[in-house]
Amino acid sequence: MRVLARIVCWLVIAAAAFVGIVCVALIVGDDGDDGDARLGGAVILVVALGAVAAAWAGLRAIKRRDAAQPAVELAGVQRRLRAGDPVVLHPRTGRRLLLFAFAIVLTMGTVVFALAAPNVIVGVVAGLFAALFLFATIELTPGTGSLRIAPDGLTARTTLRRRHWAWNDIEHFQGYEIQSGYSTTKLVGFDRRELTPQRQGVWRTINRGMSGVDETLPDTYGLPHDALAELLDEARERYATEHGMSQSERADRALAAQVARIPQDRLPLVTAALALGCVAVFISEASRFGLFPDAAELDGAGGASGDTPWWTLLTANVLHGSPIHLILNLVALVVLGWLLERELGWLRFGLLCLVAGVAAMGLATLIQPGAVTVGVSGVIFGIAGFALVRDTHRTRALGAVAWSIVPVGVIYTFLTPHVSIGAHVGGLLAGLAIGYLHARRVTERRTGGISDAWLPTSRRSPSG
């Protein structure tokens, strides 16, 4: 009944929101003197807003009733698990209902646009949203998603795929959070016992870097993510027959010993000099042009474009277009620069910044020769790219910061106007290339079978 109640509430919200949008459009677009039509539209708008408020209050009430359920459900699941019975968990419908309502609104909106101004692009978009609506409807069908905990292993089923893992192949269940600008997603992940840094492959390296684990479950199945991780650890202790040190754990301990031998007490001289240089140059800019110089003023001050001298590929990196631009870049530069420079030393770190800065501005002028590009963000992406290779397992602060910044930064780069795609991509590619070459060079000097190029610490005992 609660599932049906949620569906009804979200349908009411979606329908009322659509009616409200139509009423606002009619009221604003009515240029005539028909006061009755305006009054009628306003009344319908008030009723629609009341319906939205009532449906939202209903959803809140259902959520409060559900808040006490996880503890009761967890106790029952633990009893069945300890009795040796298979346990099947099903995902809560909250996210699926939200996707369903979102799909309804998008589909209705594009259909209205398609009827008002039919064209190929609107038709294609309407088709895509209709497919999303169909997928969201299938997701609400009972039984399309489940997690089965049984003596033969762990099985996760979704609408699109089914995955099975034997207990002897997995270890280290843990709950973790993915932070975004507007929300936090809580999930459960685990490590694969046979995976070492050299054997994990490109896609698993990316997944490991972004999440900190080898595999991720698609849902928390109505339980708190930490409670589900603890439950799955208990199941593995009960059903697995191999409990000794795995290849992955052995590799991590060897990597931890190697990291312990890397000096990390060097002063971040290049980071400090570059940050202070950016501040000094901006103060000089502000005294000449104000806090918000335009493109022509930045071009004359040393910004990079297709018509400027070669040396602007260097000077453009310390120029900034506004105080916010400067502050955001300085925060990322100081955090990443301090973490990486204390390991590389000022000479190698300085060369990395130099190459990344030139590559960033060079690619920016090639892609957009008519635009003026400024900012140290290309250097930051270069540092982050090197750090991705430096800590592929995201087991220390260096890797955690880099793997958190780069995905969000790349999305921001391609979706935000007036952001230089060439500068960010150029710096990132330069950092990745230099990091790879550095890793290859260190690999040639490796001893003990595990490359010094892989430098994360143990997952059990991360260091600063």
Of 246, 99, 221, nearest to 155 by C-alpha is: 221
Note the pLDDT tens digit of each residue in 145-168. 889 999 999 999 988 889 999 999
Q: Which two tokens stand for residue 462?
A: 């991360």
Helix (H, G, I), strand (E, B) or coil at 311: coil
Cα 279 to Cα 330: distance, rounded to the nearest angstrom: 9
**What is the CATH architecture of 269-443?**
Up-down Bundle (1.20)
Token pair 């995905």 is at which residue? Answer: 407
Q: What is the pTM of this model?
A: 0.63
Count Cα neighbours of 232 within 13 Å in the Cβ-side half-sphere: 34
Q: Which two tokens stand for residue 254?
A: 């060897």
pLDDT tens for the 464 residues of the chain, in order: 565 676 777 778 777 777 777 777 666 665 555 566 667 777 787 888 888 888 888 777 766 665 555 555 677 788 888 877 888 888 877 677 777 777 777 777 777 776 777 777 777 777 787 787 788 777 777 778 889 999 999 999 988 889 999 999 998 898 877 665 445 678 898 989 988 877 777 777 777 777 778 888 988 888 888 888 999 999 999 999 988 888 888 887 877 777 777 777 788 999 999 999 999 999 999 898 888 998 899 998 999 998 889 999 999 999 999 999 999 999 999 999 998 998 888 999 999 999 999 999 999 999 988 899 999 999 999 999 999 988 877 767 788 888 888 888 898 888 888 889 999 999 999 999 999 998 888 766 654 444 444 343 333 333 33
CA pseudo-torsion sign 205, 206, 207, 208: positive
Q: Which amino acid is present at 52?
A: V
Cα 174 to Cα 212: distance, rounded to the nearest angstrom: 10
Cα 370 to Cα 373: distance, rounded to the nearest angstrom: 10
Distances in whole angstroms, Cα of residue 352 to Cα of each of 105, 364, 429, 430, 436: 48, 18, 12, 8, 12
Q: What DSSP line would sit under 21-50, residue for residue?
A: HHHHHHHHH--S--HHHHHHHHHHHHHHHH
Q: Which two tokens stand for residue 331?
A: 């925060």
**pLDDT of res. 181:** 47
Cα 211 to Cα 118: distance, rounded to the nearest angstrom: 43
Q: What DSSP line would sit under 134-165, residue for residue?
A: HHHHHHTSTTSSEEEEETTEEEEE-SS-EEEE
Residues in the chain, overall count: 464
Cα 77 to Cα 134: distance, rounded to the nearest angstrom: 32
User: How do beta strands 146-150 and 87-89 pair?
Assistant: antiparallel
Cα 119 to Cα 126: distance, rounded to the nearest angstrom: 11
**pLDDT of res. 317:** 94
Domain limits, the chain? 1-67, 146-244, 269-443
